[in-house]
Amino acid sequence: MQTPCPFCNLPAERLVLESEWVMALRDSFPVLPGHTLIIPRSHVQSFFEASPEEVGEMLQLLREAREGLQSELDPDGFNIGINDGEAAGQTVLHFHLHLIPRFAGDVPEPRGGIRWIFPDKADYWSGRDE
């Protein structure tokens, strides 16, 4: 038996933004306050299956979500990420984009950003591996 998709039947009160093709909500397991997901309404597993309309509206909602978070939380930066495929860490097999507000001091060394998925390759600037 297949588990129902958690993004296909979201209650309207969970949404913080929405458009014809796309919706946005706060992550149920946020890594930091304001962690937001941008999700196409249609059930597609991969970014590469999303229609041009969905991708365009996702980018528009991404901008709107960022503006809202900037106003609400005043973060110092953002990480934007997609886990596309199980090998890339995708656990919910309905394409979604993460918008994560970042704050000065939230980790000891933020340089390298998403490169930290491979910690031994993240620090390319210090020369300690040479």
72-130 confidence digits (pLDDT tens): 999 999 999 999 999 999 999 999 999 999 999 999 989 888 888 888 877 877 776 55
Residue showing tokens 């149920």: 28
Q: How far is the CA of 68 from the CAs of 23, 33, 63, 72, in angstroms?
A: 14, 13, 9, 6
Q: Residue 67 CA to chain centroid, in angstroms?
A: 15
**Which residues are catalytically annotated?**
96
C-alpha 71/C-alpha 57 separation (Å) is 21
DSSP H helices, the chain, are 52-73, 119-122
CA gap 1, 83 in Å, rounded: 24
**pTM, full prediction:** 0.91
